Structure 1
Amino acid sequence: MAVPMKFLSEELDAMKQAGLYGTIRTLESPQGAWVHIDGKKYLNLCSNNYLGLCNDPRLVAKVKEYADRYGVGPGAVRTIAGTMSPHIELEKKLAAFKGAEAAIVVQSGFCANLTVIPTLAGGADDLIFSDSLNHASIIDACRLSKAKVIRYEHSDMADLKKKLEENSDGKGKKLLITDGVFSMDGDVAKLPEIVELCEKHGVIVAVDDAHGEGVLGRGGRGIVDHFSLHGRVDVEIGTMSKAFGVMGGMAAGSAVLVDYLRQKARPNLFSSALTIPDVAANLASVEILQESETLVKKLWSNGDFLKKELGALGFDTAHSETPITPVIIGEASDAKAFSAKLFERGVFATAIVFPTVPRGTARIRAMVSAAHSEDDLRFAVEQFAAVGREMGVIS
């Protein structure tokens, strides 16, 4: 008799054999520079808590205040009965922070791409130009669209120019989507060149700034602010699950764009609104970023320090232009072994392997935070050095 679910165990076994099976650890403490796992304390170098806001008392206080006033759950989608005044308050503050006319808040950064991409380019005659290293959420959002997807080589402006020219006579809408910061290597999209090319060819420009929010630009306002491209990028897509330290996604742009997304985007029409505690915590994060650049500057200082020290030891840290610090190991099994040895030494830094990154480029992606002290990072460097020498990654 056939066993229809047998493939599950077979594929899991194959992943284990190939060194691609991931160990998922459980945190027993708040997210922070140090965390507790299995009753022990570890230096945390693998979260996206860029500014250390996940456990900030100002966010916690705002959550308590708003939960007491508004409750917890929205109880409905935004278009029926789920839009509450805190949602509007957050959207107005995000728009002001981003320097846009309007913004819409959705459930996650993943949902933000599902909100924008199929909604703006959903027809069979439409074209989507997508960077070859775009995030999985962008890829999936493109797949859900009926549009033809044209991939251009990563940050290769000559290839993008060629493909725009080859498709200049397309009948439908044209949309270009790119990550702002590419999270696996830490490099930044060539947004000024992209905008210039797209303006010549009548292409809508959307940038997913998930790893740029709270990191790039004045006080963390993002990649559009970083390159002074206000008014020339049609859609800024973002997440509040990284530098903001909370959860939720957003899209910012013109008032007519946001009105269109409210009426047409499926995550807004068919999935319940963001919870009140999430909204409240995000409000606190925006207020903190508007008040001071201290946390953003500390993040960059920490990132520069770690890259410099690991590079001096001989580690391959690729070509990161942001605080993201990839340490390229090579084979998945070696990266997993490296991560396990770091864990034994008190450093929580997970291995990133295929399919998240191409085969042969498995790595430890060290994610610094403004919450880390210099002593924390020196401890990390010492442990990387010890494991690197033990495994022959560095001499």
Structure 2
Amino acid sequence: MNRLEGALARELSALDDAGTRKGAETVVTRVLPASGERGPRVLLEGEGDRAFLRMNSNGYLGLSLDPDVIAAEEKAAQTFGAGPQAVRFISGTFTPHVSLERRLASFHDREAGMIFSSAYATVMGVIAPLTTPETAIISDALNHNCIINATRLAQPREKIVYPHLSMDELRAALERAAATCRRALVVTDGVFSMRGDHAPLDEIAALVAAYDERFAENAVIVVDDSHGVGAFGASGRGTEEVAGARADLLIATLGKAFGVNGGYAVGSGTLVDYLRETAPFYVYSNPIT
């Protein structure tokens, strides 16, 4: 593998030269829980007993250290074991999986929900099955990396990227797609992780509704609101709540505001039933524990 490793080493050097290499990962050796008025701290490898504030996590509500959450996780492990040991359709569906999916669907006022190993896997898992050779994927320019890679995997007939939050360009994209495609997926982040702004979902919904009849198999909205759900909106229901509009398929994570692991999608019963049969990241992966 000397020639391959030589090529990879040159690519790593290019990352160094560009200043974009992530380098060695910071290793947390212990988490010190909150005590009195002092919030939680972490100890880091190589830093001895020096405690640090962790200001760069996505645990917006601090639930990963909540005693009730920890106790529930311990109880589930004692009851069901440390892992499911199978994919869902064989023997890996346990009562907590079904209960969680129902509660997530109810939380978002949807007919059904399904959980994945992560939100990244959710996006990768659902976009491709919804894409046919006559589908257009229309995507905001600042969408998360998972949406970019899901679009590549899906290989739509048309891939149209519109400038960030530009509704005029989204309208033009829908017009273009309607001329050649039977189906359109308008895909956007809810809250954009690198900027903190959010999609004008009410305006997007109005545009998509205006063009829906131009597509034989509808124009639908897919929103990844992993940074919004749990921390954005009066009741934590994210961009939908703030904008007063809904996605046809809503994706979010359990790994940020909710403090644990996993991703999920909620939508109509038919849509979720279809994805249970066709989403490879769901069908062929063990569920969360």
TM-score normalised by L of structure 1: 0.66
Q: Which is richer in helix?
A: 1
Structure 2 equivalent of residue 143 of structure 1? 152
Measure the CA separation in 2 of the matches of 1:69 and 1:41. Answer: 35
CA contact (8 A) 1:98 1:222 kept: no
What per-residue deviation string (whole Å, max 9, x for no partner) do you get for residues 121-159 of structure 1? 2x2221000000000001111111021211011000011
- 1:236 aligned onto 2:271: no
Measure the CA separation in 2 of the matches of 1:127 and 1:19. Answer: 35
Which of the numbers 140, 162, 178 marks the counterpart of 1:131? 140
Measure the CA separation in 2 of the matches of 1:242 and 1:129. Answer: 26
Q: CA deviation at 1:2?
A: 6.5
Measure the CA separation in 2 of the matches of 1:264 and 1:273. Answer: 16
Structure 1 equivalent of residue 226 of structure 2? 210
What per-residue deviation string (whole Å, max 9, x for no partner) do you get for residues 274-305 of structure 1? 12xxxxxxxxxxxxxxxxxxxxxxxxxxxxxx
SS at match of 1:48: coil
**Aligned-pair identity (%):** 40
- 1:82 aligned onto 2:98: no
Structure 2 equivalent of residue 246 of structure 1? 260
What per-residue deviation string (whole Å, max 9, x for no partner) do you get for residues 138-186 of structure 1? 1111111021211011000011111111222233311000000000010
Structure 1 equivalent of residue 36 of structure 2? none
- 1:36 aligned onto 2:43: yes
Q: CA deviation at 1:213?
A: 1.1
- 1:51 aligned onto 2:91: no
CA contact (8 A) 2:200 2:243 kept: no
CA contact (8 A) 1:30 1:55 kept: no
Matched letter for residue 133 of structure 1: L
Measure the CA separation in 1 of the matches of 2:222 and 2:266. Answer: 10
Measure the CA separation in 2 of the matches of 1:49 and 1:139. Answer: 24
Q: Aligned runs of 1:75-224 on 2, under 5 Å?
A: 75-121=85-131, 123-147=132-156, 148-202=158-212, 203-224=219-240
Measure the CA separation in 2 of the matches of 1:213 and 1:222. Answer: 4
Matched letter for residue 85 of structure 1: T
Distance 1:184 1:106, change over 3 A: same
Matched letter for residue 15 of structure 2: M
Structure 1 equivalent of residue 280 of structure 2? 266
Distance 1:9 1:125, change over 3 A: same
Measure the CA separation in 2 of the matches of 1:112 and 1:201. Answer: 27
Distance 1:224 1:2, change over 3 A: closer
Q: Aligned runs of 1:4-23 on 2, under 5 Å?
A: 4-22=4-22, 23=24
Measure the CA separation in 1 of the matches of 2:146 and 2:19. Answer: 24
What per-residue deviation string (whole Å, max 9, x for no partner) do you get for residues 30-53 of structure 1? 387532113221121111111111
Q: CA deviation at 1:210?
A: 0.6
- Structure 2 unaligned spans of 5+: 34-39, 213-218
Measure the CA separation in 1 of the matches of 2:4 and 2:174. Answer: 45
- Structure 1 unaligned spans of 5+: 276-395
What per-residue deviation string (whole Å, max 9, x for no partner) do you get for residues 85-137 of structure 1? 1100100111111111111001100011012211112x222100000000000
Runs of 4+ aligned residues of structure 1 deviating over 6 Å after TM superposition are none
- 1:62 aligned onto 2:55: no
What per-residue deviation string (whole Å, max 9, x for no partner) do you get for residues 309-347 of structure 1? xxxxxxxxxxxxxxxxxxxxxxxxxxxxxxxxxxxxxxx
CA contact (8 A) 1:79 1:268 kept: no
CA contact (8 A) 1:241 1:247 kept: yes
SS at match of 2:178: coil
Coordinate RMSD, CA, aligned: 1.7
Measure the CA separation in 2 of the matches of 1:49 and 1:249. Answer: 14
